Amino acid sequence: MNYFIVDAFASKPFEGNPAAVFVLNSWLTDELMQKIAIENNLSETAFLVQNNNQFDLRWFTPGGEVNLCGHATLAAAHVLYHEYYDFINKKDPLVFNTKSGQLMVNREDEIIYLDFPKLMPSKIELSADMELALNAQPSAAYLDRDLVFIFENEEQVINLMPDFTRMKSLSQGIGVLVTAPGKEFDFVSRTFFPKLNVNEDPVCGSAHSNFIPYWAQKLKKDVMLAKQLSSRPGILYCENKTNRVKIGGKAILYAKAQINEFIYL
């Protein structure tokens, strides 16, 4: 069984967020897909099966299945566009059926754009537990699927040193997303998912479903350029739309590999 490793939201190798991509003829068991994700030890492993002219897509972290993932969707699209003959010259959008609904993906030159749901998290009170987990004092907190913390400047985001044990124990949210206005970019961010056994996700596309509408309102602009400030940084091309967000990025194929058939035994 062949698979691919792609650096998503990257313009050169060893940047962005690596994801494994499996293009399957039929679904493996949930147990086997989870074991593969654990063995890969990447923040996400994407599995997709063709369904007529569309693809059914699922994402697994080492800690479990998730219902939305940006960088692994971008990685899956990159594999189809560059490794599968039927899609190399495809001009119509790719359509992925997921647990978060139907996702459309298209490309413009080297940039792959994801059409994702817009999330509007609700403002909540900051707690002492949150500040202890962050080892910092954000200016505001919001909650949807994940906790979102707003900081005043880029340096606070760069210098953040979270307590992942405390973060994993927070009663609210799956992930912890932090963001601030940028210097060279409209906004910057970092993202943490210790509850899914991923302490820091290098570049998280789905987090921008939260960030884009927030910063569009704050900055009074709908087209923005963002950067995630992990040790593997990534640049995201962002657009705020009526009910959706557009998240774009480049990708690099890092490796092609093969899993031995004994895993089926």
Q: Which residues are catalytic?
A: 44
Instruction: Give the gyration radius of the chain's Cα atoms.
Output: 18
CA dihedral in degrees (60, 66, 67, 68; nearest 10)? -80
Integer Cα distance of 212 and 196 in angstroms: 23
Reduce the DSSP state of residue 163 to 3 states and report it.
Answer: coil
The encoded tokens of residue 194 equal: 């210790």
Integer Cα distance of 58 and 72 in angstroms: 9
The encoded tokens of residue 173 equal: 């949210």
CA quadruple 265, 256, 46, 34: dihedral sign = positive
Reduce the DSSP state of residue 54 to 3 states and report it.
Answer: strand
Q: Which amino acid is at 176?
A: V
Integer Cα distance of 161 and 138 in angstroms: 13
Residue 215's φ and ψ, nearest 5 degrees, are -75, -25
Identify the burial level of 9 via C-beta atoms within 10 angstroms of its C-beta, where 0-12 means exposed, 13-18 middle and 19 or more buried: buried
DSSP 8-state assignment for residue 263: G
The β-bridge partners of 61 are 64
The encoded tokens of residue 192 equal: 């943490």
